[in-house]
Structure 1
Amino acid sequence: MMLFLLLALHLSAVFAFPLERDLSSDPPTVTLDSATVTGIHQGNLTKFLGIPFAQPPTGSLRFQLPQAITFYNGSINATDYGPICPQQAAPFPVSIRDFFNFSLPFSFGDFFPNRTNSTVPTPESEDCLTINVIKPTNVSADAKLPVLVWIFGGGFQRGSAFGYDRTATRIVNRSMELGEPVIYAAMNYRVSAWGFLASKEVQEVDAGNAGLVDQRVALEWVQKYIGNFGGDPSKVTIWGQSAGAISVSLQMLAYGGNSSNLFRGAFMQSGAPIPVGNITGGQVYYDSLVNQTNCSDSNNTFTCLQQVPLDTLQAAVNNTPNYFSYQALALAWSPRADGVFLQDNPQRLVQQGKVTNVPFVTGNVDDEGTLFSLSSLNVTTDEQFEAYISTTFVPGADESTLEPLWSYYPPEEPYGSPFNTSDRNAVTPQYKRIAAFQGDVTFQAPRRFFMQHLLANSTSSGETQKMWGYLSKKLKFTPIIGSFHISDLDIGLLDDYIIYFTYNLDPNLPDATDSTSNITLPFGLGSLLPGQPRWPEYTTEAPRLYTFPILGDRPDISNDTYREAPMQYLMNLSLAHPL
C-alpha cells in the first residue's frame, strides 16, 4: 500500500524556459578538498549542479548501497544538472486520457506545472548520484546560513532533483525577499528497482533500501561540505513531498531513530511513515525481473541482475506495476523493513518511539487519493470494490476483518473524495469511494498515526517533540480530482512557512497573532480578519491543524478529528496486514 505517492507527478515533466545565465561576471567557484568546482550565475542565484557524491552505482555496484566519495581532486564542471536515475515508465491510461479529452475543458497536464527552467530534458543514466546546491549570489563562504535539503517525490518509481529546478529557484528567491536567505540542496537518489529491489536475495547481501541510503549519504555530504557554500551544517532542515515526504519521515526512523545529527528539523508535505512490511514482501517483483532477464537459471540471481544490460533491465521493470497501474498505491517498488536501515515496519518503529526527536511539520491536501484512483474506473459495483480492496491492499485479511471497511467507506457518492462536493465528480459509482480509501490509507491516516503516537511517546518518556500539522483544501473546485495530491506544492502554498521553519524551527509567520487564531468563519470569510492566525503546535490536549480553506487567503484552525474511526481502523488493519 505504498504509496505513491507517488506521484507521480512527476508526471510530466520538465520543459519550460531556458536557464538564464549571467555571463557578465566570472563563473563562480568553490573548493572541495583539492578540487575546484565551477558553477553558474542565474539572476540573483548561484547554482552548483551535478556534483557527484557517491561512486557510480554501475556494474558490481548496481543495487548495492552507495559508496560515498570521500575526497575530491581536479576540476568539477557544475554548470548543468547531472543525468537522472533510470525511471520506471508510468503512462497515463489511454482510457483515462480519452475520458478527460472528451469530458473536461482543459488539458490534464495543466495541473502539473513544469518544475524546471530548462528546455533540454536531462538524460537517464545509472551514473546519477549527484547533488546540487543553490544559493544567493552574494553569500560569502562564512555566512553560515540555514540549509534546506529537498528530497523529491515520484512514488519511489520516478523523479529527479532536476525536475524541481523551478521550485528550488522559487524558494531561494522568496527567502531573499523575506530577508531570511537559505542555502538549498537537492540530491538524486535511485528509484524503482534500482533503489528499492526487495527479496530474500537482497536481504542476504544487505542491499535493502539503497535509494534511502543514497539520500543518507547525500545528507552526510551536506554535513561535510555545505559550509564551503556558505551554509551552516548544524542548521539543516530536510523537506519533501509525497515519496519525498515519506523519505523524510523514514530518515527520522533510520537505524532506530539515530539521525547522527544530520538534520535539526523536518518538513513533510503529503507523506509519513507508511504501512509496509518486510523486505521479502517484494519477492514477487524480484522474481519477475529474474524471469524476464534470463537470470532464472543462474546460481546467483542477484549477481546476474547486476550484469543485465540496462535496456533489458529497464524493459523488465516497465512490465511491473506502477502508480498508474490498476493496483495504484499498492506499489511494487518502495521502502521495506530490511532490519538495518529500517529495523522494523515503519509504523511499529513509530509505536516503539524509535524516531529522531526533531521539530517537524507534516500535513495533507484534502483529496490525496483522487489521482491514483483514475486507473480503476472499471471498478463500478460494491462487489468489485470489495474484491479490489481485499486482493490488492490487504491480501490475507478475512471477510469478517474487512467487514467494517465497507461501512467506513460507503458507496454513497457524497461521502467520497473529492470530499464535500456532494454527488459531483462521481465519474463512476465507485470512484469517489476508492479515492477516499486510497487517500486515507496511504497519506491521511499514516500522518495522524505518526503525530499521535509521537505525542503518546513524549508523554511516557517526558521528552517533548514539537510538531505542527496542516490540511489544504485549496483548488477544491478542480473537476474530478479536487484538492489533488501535489497541489499545495505546485502553487507554493507553504513556501513562506517552510522558510521561517528552516530559520526558527517554528513555521509561524512574523505577523501571526493569537488574537484571531481561534476564530473560524465559513466560506473563507476568515480572510477578512486582521493578520494571520498563529499556527498552534499539535498537542495531545489540542491536536489542531492549520487549515487552508477553499476560499480566501487566511487559514483557519481546525481539530484533527475528521474521519477518526475509519482512519483508526485502517491503521490497525495495515499493522496486521502490511504489504
Structure 2
Amino acid sequence: MQILSLLLVASVIAAPTLKQQNIVAPVLATFTNDCVGLVANKTPNADVGPPVKTTNTSLPTATLAAGVNVTGFKIPGYEVFLGIPYTQPPTGNLRFRRPVPKNYTSNLLAIIPRPACLQAPRLNQRFTYGVSGFSEDCLFLNVLAPEGSAGSDASLPVMGDGLTFLSPYLVRRAADTGRPIIPVTINYRLGILGFGMGRDMAENDGANLGLRDQLMALQWVKENIASFGGDPAKVTVFGQSAGAISIAQHYLNESMDLFRGAILMSGQASSTAMAPTFAIWEEPYNLTAIAAGCMAPNTTLQADLTTFECLRAVPPETIMNATAVMRRDPRFALPFVFSPSIDNDLIPDRPWMLLKDGRFAKIPYIAGDTRDEGTWITPTAIHSTDEIKFLLEHFAPLGQDPAIVQRIFDKYPNIPKMGSPFGTGNETFGLSPVFKQGSAMVGDLAFHSRRRKFLRRSNDYGNNQTWTYEFRGPTPNLAPHFGIPHSADVPYVFGVAVPENNYTAEAEVLGQQMMDYWINFADHLNPNPRNGQYDPATPYWPPHGAGKESIRLDLANLTVVPDTFREDQMAMFDEADVAAALLFKRNQV
C-alpha cells in the first residue's frame, strides 16, 4: 500500500459533516494559526478527549521496530492508531532543542486523540494552557490503515496539528479502486518553538526544529510502517500551504531518501521570506523576549539567566502570549515571522541559488496553485502604493532597490482588470483597486513564480516526472473579492466539496477527478491511470516539460494548457538582480 505522507498544513478548509467527523481525527496545522478563516466553515479544533468509542471488541495491534506493541481500535473498514509518540517530549530542557527519538519502554495504547502543538493565539486574544486542545508535549502521530493492509500499500504520513482533518473519502476511494493508501498524520512544532529566528536561535541551534521534527517522523515511518501494512519504499509526502513549503525545504537536500514522491499544493521553498536565522528577524525575537519578561526593558528577567535561557524556562503560555503581543506590530502581523530559515545546514543557501545550481533532490512531484493565491494574504483595507511596498517587505525583508520596486509596479499597474481575483474585469468589490493590484503581485511573487521556477529548474536538471496545475474551482459562501483563493482546492482533494456542504454537483465531480489524480500519483508516481485507460471526463495529464504543460482544473472541463500566463510579469521575479533584492545576497547570510 502506498504511504501518502501528508505534510498537509492547510490553513483553511470546509467543515466536514457530522458523519465525517466521527470517522477520523483532526490532523493538520499551520506555522501559526492566524491563517484560518477564508472558507466559510472551518473544521473545529481537536481538543484532547476520552478514548474514541468503538463497538468492535477485536483491537488491532502493531509491533514497532523497537519491539513494543501498539494497540489501536477499529471503525468500519479501518484500523486506527492515535497518539503514538515519535520523539521524547520537547519540553523542559528539550525546548528549543533538536528532537530526540522516543525511547519506548512499554507497550502503547493508541486510542486517545493527542493535543495539537502550541500556536500563538489570534491577535488580541490570550492563550490559556491546557484548555484549548494544544500542548507543548505534542510530537505524536496517527495511523489510519484500511483493514487488510498487506505490507505493500502506499503510506501517507501527514504532518499536521489539529486544525483540520484527513477526509476518509480520499482513503476510501483509494481502497475501493485497488490503490490503497495508509495516512500517517504527524504533529510538529510551530511558531517560535519550531521555527525560531534571531541571533540567539542561530547560536543555540534553535532554527528549523519543525523541519527536523518532520524528518524524524518520516524516519519513524520508514522504520515502522510495514507493521501497519505499508511499504516503506512507497512514501509520498502531500502538503498544502505551509505543508507544501515544508516539503519544498526537504527537496533542498540532494540526498533526500525518506520519500519517493510529493504533492505540493500552494507552496514552494521561497514562498516565505526565507530569512537567515540571525539579523533579519532579530527584532521580532527581541519583541517576543521583552513581552515574555526575558529582555530589558521588562525587568522580570532573572539576573542569572540569558534571554535564551529565560525563554526556555518560562511557562509555555507565556511564550505564546508574548508571540501574540509581538504580532500586534503591523510589520509582523502576517504569519510568516517564524518560518523556515537559512541555517547553513538543512537549508544551506537561498533556495533560488540552490535551484539555479541544481543542488536539490530530483524526486517526482505534482505542484500547483489556485488562481488567486494573493487575495488570501493581501489585507482588504489596503489602499496605497506604500502599503503594497510594506506588504512586499514580508517576502523581501532585506529591503528593495527603489528602481527594482518601480519596475515591479510597472509590470503590475493599478488597473483593476489586470488584478486579482483575475478574470473579474474592472470590478473592485467595494475595495480600493490597490487590493487587486497587491493581490496580483503577492500571488505571483510568493506562489506562481516560485512554482514555475521549481518546475523549470527540475526539468533543466533531468527530472521530467513533474506535473503542474492551476485550480479554478469555486468555494460557496465566500466573499467575491477572494476569487479562487489559497486553500480553495483542499476540500476538493479531501472529497468534501459536495452538495451537503453547499458545493454543486459539478464541484463534487471535479473533486472526484482530483482525488483520482492524487491517488494515482501516490500509487505509481504518475497522476494518470497505470493501465493507460483514460476516462474521458478525467483526461490525460501530461508531465511538465519543454511545452510547459499544465492542467487547468475547472468545473466546466479539465484543459491542458501551457503554464505561461503572465510570463513577462513573473519573469521580473526571476531576473538575477530582482532575485538578489527579493531574496538574499550570499554575504548577508
Asked if 1 retains the 8 angstrom alpha-carbon contact of 2:101 and 2:216, the reply is yes
Unaligned regions of 5+ residues in structure 1, if any? Answer: 94-119, 153-159, 459-463, 515-528
- 2:485 alignment partner AA: F
1:363 to 368, 372, 381: 368
Tell me the secondary structure at the aligned position of residue 202 of structure 1: helix
Aligned length: 511
- DSSP-derived class of the 2:88 partner: coil
Q: Are residues 1:428 and 2:432 paired?
A: yes
Letter in 1 for 2:120: Q
Q: Distance in 2 between matches of 1:370 and 1:227?
A: 42
* 1:452 matches 2:456: yes
> 1:476/1:432 Cα in 2 relative to 1: closer, same or farther (>3 Å)?
farther
Separation in 1, partners of 2:52, 2:115: 20
Contact 1:145 1:232 in 2 (8 A): yes
Gaps of 5+ in 2: 1-10, 12-29, 297-302, 494-510, 585-589
Contact 1:151 1:247 in 2 (8 A): no
CA distance in 2, matches of 1:546, 1:392: 28
Q: Name the SS for the 1:557 alignment partner.
A: strand
Q: Which residue pairs with 1:532 in the alignment?
A: 538
Conservation of the 8 A alpha-carbon contact between 1:46 and 1:137: yes
2:526 to 491, 499, 506: 506
TM-score normalised by structure 2 residue count: 0.80
What is the rounded CA distance, in whole Å, between the counterparts of 2:565 and 2:118 in structure 1?
Answer: 39
Q: Counterpart in 2 of 1:52?
A: 85
Distance change (3 Å), C-alpha of 1:127 and 1:391: closer
Q: CA offset at residue 378 of structure 1?
A: 3.2
Is 1:30 aligned to 2:62, yes or no?
yes
Residue identity matched to 1:146: A
What per-residue deviation string (whole Å, max 9, x for no partner) do you get for residues 429-465 of structure 1? Answer: 211111111211111111111111222233xxxxx34
**Per the alignment, do residues 91 and 286 of structure 1 end up closer, same or farther by CA in structure 2, a change over 3 Å counting?**
closer
CA gap 1:139/1:286 in 2 versus in 1, 3 angstroms: same
Report the Cα offset of residue 170 of structure 1: 2.4
CA distance in 1 between counterparts of 2:52 and 2:292 reads 44
Q: What is the one-letter code of the residue matched to 1:294?
A: G
Counterparts of 2:538 and 2:388, CA distance in 1? 43
Alignment of 1:132-281 (within 5 A): 132-140=142-150, 143-152=151-160, 160=161, 162-167=162-167, 169-254=168-253, 257-259=254-256, 261-274=257-270, 275-280=273-278, 281=280
Local SS of the residue matching 1:73 = coil
- The answer on whether the counterparts of 1:226 and 1:232 sit within 8 Å (CA) in structure 2 is yes
Distance 1:391 1:469, change over 3 A: closer
Secondary structure of 2:527's partner?
coil
Query: For residue 517 of structure 1, what is the aligned residue in structure 2?
Result: none
| Percent of aligned pairs sharing the same letter | 29
**Aligned partners of 1:349 and 1:355 also within 8 Å:** yes
Q: How far 1:34 moved relative to its partner?
A: 3.3
Structure 1-normalised TM-score?
0.82
SS in 1 for 2:377: helix
In the TM superposition, residue 414 of structure 1 has moved relative to its aligned partner by 0.9
User: In 2, are the aligned partners of 1:321 and 1:331 still within 8 Å (CA)?
Assistant: no
Provide the residue aligned with 2:14 in structure 1.
none
Aligned residue for 2:26? none
Q: Distance in 1 between matches of 2:116 and 2:386?
A: 42
Alignment check: 8 A CA contact 2:56 2:73 kept: no
1:439 maps to what in 2?
443
* SS of residue in 2 equivalent to 1:247: helix
Distance 2:46 2:397 in 1: 41
RMSD: 2.9
Tell me the alpha carbon deviations over residues 289-336 of structure 1, each in whole angstroms, 9 at most, x when there is no partner. Answer: 2222222266522112100111211110112338x9676657211100
Deviates more, 1:386-395 or 1:31-40: 386-395
Q: Report the Cα offset of residue 359 of structure 1.
A: 0.7
Cα offset, 1:121, TM superposition: 8.8
- C-alpha distance in 1 between matches for 2:467 and 2:486: 20
Are the aligned partners of 2:275 and 2:281 in contact in 1 as well (CA < 8 Å)? no
User: Which residue does the alignment assign to 1:340?
Assistant: 345
Does the 8 Å contact 1:6/1:243 carry over to 2? no
Distance 2:46 2:133 in 1: 16
**TM-aligned CA distance change 1:385 to 1:144, over 3 Å:** closer
**Does the 8 Å contact 2:252/2:347 carry over to 1?**
yes
Q: Hey, what does 1:497 align to over in structure 2?
A: 517
Deviation at 1:502, TM superposition (A): 0.9
Query: Is 2:383–2:432's contact at 8 Å kept on the other side of the alignment?
Result: yes
